[in-house]
Amino acid sequence: MASEFRKKIFWRAVVAEFLAMSLFIFISIGSALGFNFPVMANKTATRSQDNVKVSLAFGLSIATMAQSVGHISGAHLNPAVTLGLLLSCQISIFKALMYILAQCLGAVVATAILSGVTSSLPGNSLGLNALAGGINAGQGLGIEIIATFQLVLCVLATTDRRRNDVSGSAPLAIGLSVALGHLLAIDYTGCGINPARSFGSALIANNFENHWIFWVGPIIGGASAALIYDFILAPRTSDLTDRMKVWTSGQVEEYDLEGDDMNSRVEMKPK
Structure confidence by residue, pLDDT tens digits, 185-232? 999 999 999 999 999 999 999 999 999 999 999 999 999 999 999 989
The mean pLDDT of 161-168, rounded to a whole number, is 81
Q: What is the domain-level CATH number for residue 188?
A: 1.20.1080.10
Q: Which domain holds residue 220?
A: 4-35+50-118+126-245
Residue 241 is assigned to a structural domain of this protein:
yes
Which of 221, 233, 230, 220 is closest to 255 using CA atoms?
Answer: 230
The model's confidence at residue 21, banded by pLDDT at 50, 70 and 90, is: very high
The model's confidence at residue 271, banded by pLDDT at 50, 70 and 90, is: very low
pTM for this predicted structure: 0.85
CB neighbourhood size of 159 (10 A)? 20
More confident site: 245 or 99: 99
CA distances from 194 to 47, 82, 86, 136, 168 (A): 27, 10, 16, 20, 25
CA distances from 52 to 2, 31, 142, 173, 180 (A): 45, 11, 22, 17, 10
Contact 92, 246 (CB under 8 A): yes
Residue 261 is assigned to a structural domain of this protein:
no
Residue 91 is assigned to a structural domain of this protein:
yes
Residue 254 is assigned to a structural domain of this protein:
no
What distance in Å separates the CA atoms of residue 26 and residue 127, rounded to the nearest whole number?
Answer: 10
Residue 252 is assigned to a structural domain of this protein:
no
Residue 260 is assigned to a structural domain of this protein:
no
Residue 203 is assigned to a structural domain of this protein:
yes
Q: Strands 43-44, 39-40: parallel, antiparallel or unpaired by DSSP?
A: antiparallel
Coil, strand or helix: which one is 133?
coil
Considering its fold, how many domains does the chain have in total? 1
Which pLDDT score, from 0 to 100, does residue 1 have? Answer: 54
Residue 266 is assigned to a structural domain of this protein:
no
Phi-psi group of 160: left, alpha or beta (phi > 0 → left; psi -120 to 50 → alpha; rest → beta): beta
